[in-house]
């Protein structure tokens, strides 16, 4: 039985990445919890979901999946891959701005740079969605959302280890930016992740 557990144990490099993911710190408006990870994309995967709440309203949501293949992946150019999703409400008139897609992508790229999270092989899409109501719902106001889907491969730091914490916190900051929250002033420390509760 002990031998079986050892065989089934995740590689140490991935286990450390999961520990780092769980230890990432986010702003107090961000509620993060673990979620089931996709099983067919890579031999090992971990995932978290997040909601950004302002004045009791959920204004943005997202997911982050950390994939690990000990044999490496040519498309990833690495053994690790981060796959992120961000969705946030925006003003309907913003959707007609041709620059919004590029701005949305910049939110993520700048957040990664701010955290010192180095990466290679970035890719993704930014989608703008407008919903209008008709018939019995004609009185409802139009709503709009921006959706960012992105993936990138973390670059190992000193010692050849990947620091997943930097990448997770960058995703969290991009989520907050999409939600319209102002940047955290220099010197302000983010609060620990609040898992399993929404009490303020």
- Give pLDDT tens digits for 138-166: 777 777 889 999 999 999 877 778 899 99
Q: Which of 4-8, 73-77, 147-151 shows the lowest mean pLDDT across its residues?
A: 4-8
Strand residue runs (E) in the chain:
25-26, 30-35, 44-54, 57-73, 78-90, 119-131, 143-154, 191-192
Q: 21 in helix, strand or coil?
A: helix
> Would you state the pLDDT for residue 195?
42
> Would you state the pLDDT for residue 200?
36
Burial of 167 (0-12, 13-18, 19+ CB in 10 A): buried
> Would you state the pLDDT for residue 194?
45
> Would you state the pLDDT for residue 185?
58
Q: Which of 34-38, 96-100, 108-112, 145-149 shows the lowest mean pLDDT across its residues?
A: 96-100
- For helices 12-23 and 164-178, give the axis angle rounded to 10 degrees: 40
> Would you state the pLDDT for residue 186?
52
Kindly report the pTM of this predicted structure: 0.84
pLDDT value at 14 more than 80: yes
Residues 6+ apart with CB under 8 A from 37: 45, 46, 47, 65, 66
Nearest alpha carbon to residue 80 among 7, 139, 21: 21
Classify the C-alpha dihedral 36-39-43-47 as positive or negative: negative
Q: Alpha carbon 92 to chain centroid distance?
A: 24
φ, ψ dihedrals at 46, nearest 5°: -140, 150
Q: Distance between CA 151 and CA 154 in Å, rounded?
A: 10
Mean pLDDT of 63-69: 97
> Would you state the pLDDT for residue 168?
97
Structure tokens at 162: 């990947």
Q: Which residues does residue 130 pair with via DSSP β-bridges, in sequence order? A: 144
Mean pLDDT of 79-93: 90
Determine what percent of the chain is predicted with pLDDT higher than 70. 86
Nearest alpha carbon to residue 60 among 148, 119, 125, 136: 148
């Amino acid at each position: 039985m002990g031998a079986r557990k050892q065989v089934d144990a995740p590689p140490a490099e991935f286990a450390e990445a999961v520990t780092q993911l769980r230890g990432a710190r986010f702003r107090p408006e961000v509620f993060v919890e673990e979620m089931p990870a996709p099983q067919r994309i890579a031999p090992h995967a971990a995932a978290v979901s997040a909601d950004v709440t302002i004045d009791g309203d959920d204004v943005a949501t997202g997911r982050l999946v950390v994939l690990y293949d000990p044999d490496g992946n040519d498309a990833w150019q690495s053994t690790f891959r981060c796959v992120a999703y961000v969705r946030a409400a925006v003003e309907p008139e913003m959707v007609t701005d041709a620059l919004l897609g590029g701005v949305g992508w910049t939110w993520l790229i700048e957040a990664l740079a701010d955290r010192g999270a180095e990466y290679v092989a970035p890719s993704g899409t930014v989608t703008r969605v407008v919903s209008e109501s008709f018939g019995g719902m004609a009185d409802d106001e139009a709503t709009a959302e921006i959706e960012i889907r992105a993936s990138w491969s973390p670059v190992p730091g000193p010692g050849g280890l990947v620091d997943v914490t930097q990448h997770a916190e960058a995703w969290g900051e991009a989520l907050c930016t999409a939600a319209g929250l102002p940047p955290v002033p220099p010197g302000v420390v983010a609060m620990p992740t609040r898992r399993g509760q929404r009490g303020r």
